[in-house]
Each structure stands twice: as structure tokens, then as C-alpha cells.
């Protein structure tokens, strides 16, 4: 039997197949605190076709490309579903950008990207699975378990 755990939405975005336990990090990336007044539904550790997952549903909001890139860093299997009038009109799997520019702060305080120089942070992907990224400037590899605290 298929049990409906969270209501369908009329218009907005459903972020599905989020790495279990990471829904709150997705909300943090999107700056959602719940005081905006729009309807937000969160399901954590629900069992989907491919095991456990989290889901975040946001009514009346579409995501910007930069927001989707940030979500990819903490939920590499997530899908972004655009809902209009109850129908899924678009479905995209997030993907890790090959160069991660201006969305993650380098954890090395001495890195030139943290200096007063006008240099945007930049990381290259050292490994896709498991995801490992490396600072283009100082080669520091942030601990991916704490990556959400470095997302700008
Ligand atoms: N959804 C929703 N409101 C709608 C339509 C869909 O909240 N009006 C949600 C569904 O509950 C699901 C996601 O959006 O979490 C994607 O919907 P759909 O593509 O219909 O589901 P699946 O086929 O199960 O998706 P996938 O193949 O990506 O697992
Ligand atoms: Zn660096």
C-alpha cells in the first residue's frame, strides 16, 4: 500500500531524494526559517523506492541555479521538481558543477580567497563519489561532513 506522508502541492518546488537527514541543511541553504508565511513541508527518513530519503516542498517558490548547485553539494542525488497546478512540469537531477565558484568558503583562514583581495572562492572536484572538493588556490580539502557550514 502506498501511504501519502506529505500532501501534494499546487505550485512550487519539491526537492526530492535528499540524502536522509539533510532536509534541514537544504532549508538553511535556501534561507528558509518558516517566518516567510509560505507553506513548507518537510519529510525526513521516509522510505522511497531506493531506500530512505528526505523531501522538502516549498509552495510558490522556484530555485535559482546557484541554490541548486549548493543543494548538490549536500544532496547529490536530489531531484528538483517544478510543480504547476498540481502537475510535475519539470524534473531535474542536481549535478555537481565541475568548478565550484563563489558558493563555498575555503576553511583555510590564510587562503587568498579569504584575504582582502577581491578573489572569489573556487574549488575543483577531486572526487565525485564520494564527493571531495579541493581549493583551487591553496589545495585545502574541506571535510565534507561539515560542508554545509562553509556554504556561502
Ligand atoms: N509532488 C507534490 N505535489 C504535486 C506533485 C508531486 O508534492 N502536486 C511530489 C511527489 O510527492 C514526489 C515529487 O513531487 O515527491 C515528484 O513527483 P513525481 O514525479 O510524481 O513522483 P515520482 O515519479 O515518484 O518521482 P521520482 O521518479 O523522481 O522518484
Ligand atoms: Zn583555499
Residue-wise pLDDT tens digits, 88-117: 999 999 999 888 999 999 999 999 999 999
Q: Find out whether 74 and 54 touch, Cβ atoms under 8 Å.
A: no
Cβ(133) – ligand 1 distance below 6 Å: no
Query: pTM for this one?
Result: 0.91
Q: What average pLDDT does range 19-28 have in this prediction?
A: 96
- Gap between the Cα atoms of 15 and 3, Å rounded: 19
Report the percent of the chain where pLDDT is more than 90: 84
Separation of CA 24 and ligand 2 centre (Å): 27
**Ramachandran assignment for 126, one of left (phi > 0), alpha (psi -120 to 50 degrees), beta (any other):** alpha
Separation of CA 124 and ligand 2 centre (Å): 11
Separation of CA 89 and ligand 1 centre (Å): 10
Cβ(4) – ligand 1 distance below 6 Å: no
pLDDT at 19: 95
Amino acid at each position: 500500500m502506498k501511504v501519502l506522508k506529505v500532501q501534494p502541492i499546487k505550485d512550487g518546488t519539491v526537492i526530492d531524494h535528499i540524502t536522509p537527514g539533510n532536509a534541514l541543511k537544504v532549508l538553511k541553504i535556501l534561507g528558509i526559517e518558516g517566518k516567510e508565511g509560505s507553506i513548507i513541508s518537510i519529510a525526513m527518513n521516509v522510505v522511497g523506492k531506493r531506500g530512505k530519503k528526505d523531501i522538502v516542498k516549498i509552495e510558490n517558490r522556484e530555485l535559482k541555479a546557484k541554490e541548486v548547485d549548493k543543494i548538490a553539494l549536500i544532496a547529490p542525488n536530489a531531484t528538483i521538481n517544478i510543480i504547476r497546478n498540481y502537475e510535475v512540469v519539470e524534473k531535474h537531477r542536481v549535478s555537481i558543477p565541475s568548478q565550484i565558484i563563489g558558493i563555498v568558503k575555503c576553511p583555510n583562514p590564510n587562503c587568498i580567497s579569504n584575504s582582502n583581495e577581491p578573489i572569489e572562492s573556487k574549488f575543483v572536484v577531486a572526487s565525485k563519489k564520494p564527493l571531495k572538493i579541493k581549493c583551487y588556490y591553496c589545495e585545502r580539502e574541506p571535510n565534507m561532513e561539515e560542508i554545509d557550514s562553509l556554504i556561502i
